Amino acid sequence: MMKRNLLCLTTSLAVMVSALGASAQTLAEIEAAAKAEGMLSTIALPHDWCGYGEVIAGFKAKYPEITVNELNPDAGSADELEAVKANKDNKGPQAPDVLDVGLAFGPQAKAEGLTQAYKVATWDEIPAEVKDADGHWYADYYGVMSFIVNTDMVENVPQDWADLLKPEYAGMVALAGDPRASNQAILGVLAAGMSTGAAPGDAAGKAGLEFFKALNDAGNFVPVIGKAGTLAQGTTPIIIMWDYNALAARDTLAGNPPVEVVVPKSGVLAGVYVQAISAYSPQPNAAKLWMEYLYSDEGQLGWLKGYCHPARFNAMAAAGKIPQELLDALPPAEAYEAAYFPTLEEVDANKAAVTGGWDAVVGANVAE
C-alpha cells in the first residue's frame, strides 16, 4: 500500500514537472528522453484511417530506437478512454500513451483527469475553436460523413439519408462503429438527424435515433460494425462512414468490388477528431515526440494523403506547403463548403442523447 502511494506520488510529481516543463523542453531534449524510453503505445489507429499506416511507418523510420506498440486498432473513442482508466496503475505495454478521439470526448477526458497538457511547436496554427486552451486536447483532422456503397450488390446508389429507408435496401445499411462507443457512429446518427431538419445538438441526436429506429424496423439496418471487409463480403453493402475512410476503403478494394462514395445531399456533417496525451502515460516523452511529429509538416501531409483535412490545413495551404496532387486527390471542396461544423456543446449534447438512448430507442440486436 505504501509502495502504491509512493508510486502515485512520484507519478503525479513527474506529471506536474513534465507539464511545467512542457514549454521549456526543446525538441532535442524530448527526442533524447523519448529514445531513452524506447516505446510508444498507441491505441485505436487502424492503418487505413487517415493514412495512419504510413504515418506510423514514417515515425518508425525517423526514430528507429522507439518501438511503436499498437493496441486494439478497432477501439472506439469511448473504448480509448476506458483503456486509459483501466491501466491507471499499469506502466506496462497495455497502457496507451496517446489518444485520438472524437471532439466530444476531448473535454470528457480532461474532466475525468485522463489527459496531460502539452502544446506542440506549431500550436498557433491550430484553429482556436477546436483546441483546449490549456493544451489537454487539440484537433488533428476532419472530414465529412458519407456513404460507401458496394455497387456489385446495390443497383441504385442512395443519394441522401431519406433514400436509405427505401425497401430496396433491406438488410444493407450499417454504421461503421458501435453507436454507444464510436465517435464515427455517434456522429453518423447526428448527421441522419440533421437531415430531417432538426437543429444540431440534442434535437438532431434524438431525431437521428428515431431515424435509425425506422431503419431498423424497416429491416434495412444491419447491427454489425461495417468495415471494408464486410462491405466486400456483402454483409454490409452500404456503410455510413467518414469520407476519408470511404476513400481509403475504395483504394484498398481496388475495384473488386467496385464502390461508390457518396456525400449525402442533406445532413452534411463535418467531424473533428482530437489528439491527447494520457495523464498516466508510461512513456510521456515518447508521447510528446509523437505529437511533435504529427503536427509537423510531415505528419500533417501524411494525414492529407489519407484523404483527411489536417488541423493546420488552412495555414499550410496559405504557405503553399501542400503539393497539388494531394489537393486534387481530396474529396471535392463543394462538399466541405456545405458541411456543418458542430460546436463543442452540440456534439456533447448529441453524444449524451445517442449513447444514452440507443439501446432504448433503437435496440437493434443481432441475436433476433
Partner 1 sequence: MAKGPIRRDARRLPLEWLGILPFAVFAFLFLILPTLRIVTGAFQDQAGGFTLQNLMDLNTASIRAAYWTSIKLSLYSASLGCLIGFAMAAAVVFGGLPKRVRSPLLTFSGVASNFAGVPLAFAFIATLGPAGLITVWLRTDFGINLRAMGFNLLSFQGLVITYLFFQIPLMILIITPALDGLKREWREAAEVLGATGLQYWRMVALPILFPSILGTFALLFANAFGAVATAFALTGPQLNIVPIKLFAQIRGDVLGNPNLGFALAFGMIVMTVVANTVYIVLRVRSERWLK
Partner 2 sequence: MTRFLAWFALIFGCLYFLLPLVGMAEFSLKMRRGEYSFDAYRRVFEDPTFWATFSYSLVLAGATIVMGVFLVVPTAYWVRLKLPQARPFVEFVTLLPLVIPAIVLVFGYIRLYNTSSWLPLTGSALGTDFLLTMGYTTLALPYMYRSVDTGLRTIDVGTLTEAAQSLGAGWITILGRIILPNVMVAVLSGAFLTLAIVLGEFTMAALLNRPAFGPYMQLLGANRAYEPPALAVIAFAITWGCMGLMQLVTRFSKHERAKA
**Which residues are at the interface with partner 1 (CB under 8 A)?**
72, 74-75, 78-79, 81-83, 85-86, 152-153, 170-171, 178, 180-181, 222-225, 232-235, 237, 359, 365-368
| DSSP state, residue 332 | P
Rounded CA-CA distance 219/234 in Å is 16
Name the minimum Å distance from CB 93 to partner 2. 5
Rounded CA-CA distance 316/314 in Å is 6
**367: partner contacted, choices partner 1, partner 2, none (Cβ within 5-8 A by kind):** partner 1
Dihedral, 274, 244, 177, 182 alpha carbons, nearest 10: 10
Rounded CA-CA distance 96/94 in Å is 6
Q: Which of residues 243-262 bind partner 2 (CB under 8 A)?
A: 252-253, 255-257
Rounded CA-CA distance 2/7 in Å is 8
* Site track 45-84 with partner 2 (rule: CB under 8 A), x = hit: -x-x--------------------x-xxxx----------
Rounded CA-CA distance 56/63 in Å is 11
**368: partner contacted, choices partner 2, partner 1, none (Cβ within 5-8 A by kind):** partner 1
Does position 127 bind partner 2 by CB under 8 A? no
Rounded CA-CA distance 240/360 in Å is 21
Buried b (16+ CB within 10 A) or exposed e, 193-223: bbbbebebbbbbbbbbbbbbbebbebebbbb
**4: partner contacted, choices partner 2, partner 1, none (Cβ within 5-8 A by kind):** partner 2
Does position 89 bind partner 2 by CB under 8 A? yes
Rounded CA-CA distance 147/331 in Å is 13
Nearer residue to partner 1 within complex by CB, 233 or 314: 233
Nearer residue to partner 1 within complex by CB, 39 or 153: 153
Buried b (16+ CB within 10 A) or exposed e, 119-140: bbebeebbeeebbbeebbbbbb
Q: Which of 146, 220, 230, 285 binds partner 2 (CB under 8 A)?
A: 230
* Site track 2-41 with partner 2 (rule: CB under 8 A), x = hit: --x-------------------------------------
Q: Which of 10, 26, 90, 314 binds partner 2 (CB under 8 A)?
A: 90
- Using CB under 8 A, list all residues that contact partner 2: 4, 46, 48, 69, 71-74, 89-94, 225, 227-233, 252-253, 255-257
